[in-house]
Structure 1
C-alpha cells in the first residue's frame, strides 16, 4: 500500500476473507463491515497519524474469532493496533526506528512483527504483555522469508543471512525459543513455503543454481533435494521461478502436490509421497485432435463489452505474442481448493490462463486467451469457480470460469480506473457463496454474477467509495 499524506484518502484495503474493508482519510480511520447487508455497517475513529504508510488486516487464519479481528496502521514512527468490533485502539508501538522495511501481524492478532532497516533484526511485539522478542538478520522482510506453521501456528520458520550462508531456524511460540537451526546448502535461497498440512517446508534456490528445491520436515531436518526430472539435460536448466503447494484437501487432509514453476515456463509436479517429478506441464498450445476447449476474448461493442468465444489453437497462438517485457518464467500458479485443478500464467504469454486437470493423469483442461495481460487469477475458497482479472483500458469487467459452464465476461458498475488495474477478491460467507469484491483505489463494489438465456449480469449488493468518514451506519 502506498503512503498517503494528510487529507488524501488511502486506498481501500479489503481483508483476506472479504468481510471487512478500511481506508484512511486525513486523520479519520473508516472501517466497513457486513458488506452484503442492505444497511452498510460503518465505523470511524480519529487517529494520531498524519502520514499513513499502510493498513493491514490480521489474516483470518491467525484470528481466534471474528470478535478479535485487528487492523494495523503504520507510519514512519508509530504502529497502532485497532480492534474492529467495536472499533477501538488496543495498542501502540511508539518510537519505531527509521527505515522500517515491513510491519506484519505475527502468530495471531496479538503479535506484531517489525522488520528493521537493513534487515538487521525482526522484533516480535506482544500487545498482550508488552514482551519483545528479537530474531537477528532475517534475510527477507516479506512473507516469502518466514512463515507460521499452518493449522496450529505454534511454530515460526525463518531464513536468516548472518554472513555468507543461508540459515533456517525454527522457533516455538509464544516464547520464540529456538528449536532448530539448519545451515542450508543453497547459493542464495529465494524463499520458503510451508505445505498447507503443516508437514513440510520447501525452500527454493536462486535460478543460477539450476532446479534446486529443498524439502525439510516440520522440525527443520533435511529430507530431500529436488534437482529436476530424471534424464533432463542440466545444460538447459534455467532454474526455479516459484513454487506452490496444493491445498490440504480430501479425507486425509494432506497436501498431495508441490508445483515447481521454472524459468523456462515449465511446471514440474511433485507428489509429496516421494517428492519426485510425476509430470511436467508445458505452456504450449496443443495442435492435436484431443486439444482442450480454447476460449478467446472478443469485443461485442464499441463500448468495451466482451464475451468468450470458442476458437482454435492456431487462432489463439496468433493473438498471443510473446512478451518482450519481464524475464520468462511462470508468473502465476494457483490450485483449486480440492487440489484437482491448477491455473497458471506464463510471462511469455501473460494474457493466457491455462487450466490443468490433475485428478488422474494431468492434462490441459481449458485455455482462456485475453486481449490484455492477466493481473489476478483467484479460485473460490470452497468450489471450483475461477475469477480472472486482466488489465483493461476499457470498461471495468470481470471474467469467470467453471468446469461445468461456458465462461463469461461481465461488466461491473463501478468507476473507470485510468490505469486499468482493478482488484478482485472473493467474499467468505454462506448467504452469497459466490459474491466477490471488485474495484480500484476510488471505489469498490460487492456483488455476484447472474445469468439468463441471453446474457450475464453483475448483481451489485453494495458499493464502497473511498471518501471521508461517515457519521454512522448509512443505507445503500
Structure 2
C-alpha cells in the first residue's frame, strides 16, 4: 500500500463524485485540489456574512458545483470554472432545516424542514422555489428513502404522508410541479425507488406489517404485488410467520432485486417478471468448504450467531451486480458475501464490533470497504476482495493526527478506473489518499517542488 503526502483538511473535506477533485471548507474559503497532482486548482472566497455552524457541505452529482449551508443561508458555487454563485435566504422565523442537499441536477437544492413539515426545492436556474407538504422522511439518515429520481427523464417520485395515509407523487423534471399522484395500497410504506432502467417504481411496506413489495408503472398502475416468499421446502415453513420487509436493494444492472425480511432468507427477484429466482439462506452453523472464505478471530466460534435471528436488515450489490453483501440484525458484526449468479455463499467476515459502514467500490467490481464502531476501531478501515485472504486492514492512527485522539475519520473509495483502487481519508485536520498497489497516481512535495508519482518505487510503501 502506498500513501500520498498529508494535506491540510477540515471537518468538511470530501472528494468529488467523479474522483477528480477534493474540496476542503475553511473558515473563509473553499480549497479545490486535483486528486492526481494535489495542486490547489481554485480558491473560492466565502461571503463575509456566512457565519455560524455549517449544516451542509456537498458536491453536486456532476462534480461541477458545491453547496454550503448555515442556519439562515444556502450558497452554491462553481467548483471547476466560471463565477456562478447562487444564494438562498432562509427566513429567521423558520426552524433549522433537517437536511439540505443537491437534487439530481446541479441547479436544484432540496431543503427538508424538521418534523416533515415541507420539502422546498430551489431552482437556481429559474430563481423559483416549489414547496411540497408532508414529506414522509426528512432527516439526513432517511430522506433519500422517500424520494427517487427516474433514470434519463429525471422525474421525481416522492413519498408523503398526511392524515395517516401514504401518497406517492410524480413531479415534472423541469418545474417539479405534480404530474400525477396516487394512494399506494400500503399501511406504512418505508421507502420507494425507481429501477435503474426507469420502468418500475418499487415501494415497500414497513417491517411491522406483513411482507409486501409493490411494483408500479410510471403512471401509477400496479404491475406486481409481492407478498413475501412462499414456503416450498421444510426449512421455509417459518417464513409465513416472519416479520415484514426490512431492506430492498436493486442491482446496478437492473436485472435483480434483493429483499430481506424477518427470516434468515434473502429473496432475489428477477426483472422484469418480478418473480422469485432464488433464496439466499444464512446458515446458523457455517461449514467450511473450498469455495467459502471464512474470516474470524481465533477466539470467535463459527456458530456463535445469536438466536433468534431477526432477519436481514442490510443488502447491497457490487457495481457488477454479481456479488451481494448482507447483514443480519442479530449479528451486526458479521458480513455475508454471496455470489448471486450461482447463489453460493462466497465469504463470511466476522468482527468483534458492529459493522457500521459497507461500501462497494463504485467502479471496480468485488471490492468492499468496511468500518466498525467503537474507539478501538476508530482509525481502522477494512478492505476485502475475493482474492485476498480475508479483509486487509489499514490503520491510520499514526498517519492522521486526529486518529490518535479518537477523532472521527472519514474514509471512502475514490471513483477512479485506475488499475489500483484508491481510498480517501480525512479527519478534522489532515487528509490523504492511499493506493493499494500498482502504478502510483498521487503526488508528494519534495524540496518545495511538486512531484507526480509515476514509478512504483516513488511511493511511500507500507506493508499493511
The TM-score range, normalised by the shorter chain, is: 0.7 to 0.9
* Per-residue CA distance 1:107-138 (angstroms, 9 max, x = gap): 30011122234423222211112122232222
Question: Which of the numbers 364, 385, 394 marks the counterpart of 1:402?
Answer: 385
CA contact (8 A) 2:156 2:173 kept: yes
Does 1:437 find its partner at 2:400? no
Q: Name the SS for the 2:111 alignment partner.
A: strand
Partner of 2:364: 383
Partner of 1:246: 251
* Per-residue CA distance 1:234-266 (angstroms, 9 max, x = gap): 652211112110012xxxxxx111111223443
Q: Structure 2, unaligned stretches of length 5 or more?
A: 1-8, 232-236, 453-464
Partner of 1:221: 221
Q: Name the SS for the 2:196 alignment partner.
A: coil
Offset of residue 106 of structure 1: 2.2
Partner of 1:116: 113
Runs of 4+ more than 6 Å apart: 473-476
Partner of 2:460: none
Distance 2:71 2:348 in 1: 45
Alignment of 1:192-207 (within 5 A): 192-207=192-207
Distance 1:236 1:292 in 2: 32
Partner of 1:308: none
TM-score (norm 2): 0.81
Does 1:147 find its partner at 2:144? no
Partner of 1:161: 161
Q: Name the SS for the 1:73 alignment partner.
A: strand
Distance 1:210 1:133 in 2: 36
Offset of residue 189 of structure 1: 0.9
Partner of 1:411: 395
* Per-residue CA distance 1:433-471 (angstroms, 9 max, x = gap): 5111124344332121138xxxxxx989469xxxxxxxx
Cα gap change, 1:349 to 1:420, in 2 (>3 Å): farther
Partner of 1:81: 76
Distance 2:71 2:277 in 1: 49
Cα gap change, 1:265 to 1:59, in 2 (>3 Å): farther
Does 1:351 find its partner at 2:351? no
Partner of 1:101: 98
Higher relative contact order (Cα pairs below 8 Å, separated by 6+ residues):
2
Does 1:263 find its partner at 2:245? no
Partner of 1:281: 280
Partner of 2:462: none
Offset of residue 340 of structure 1: 0.9
Q: Structure 1, unaligned stretches of length 5 or more?
A: 1-7, 249-254, 299-310, 452-457, 464-472
Q: How many residues align?
A: 422
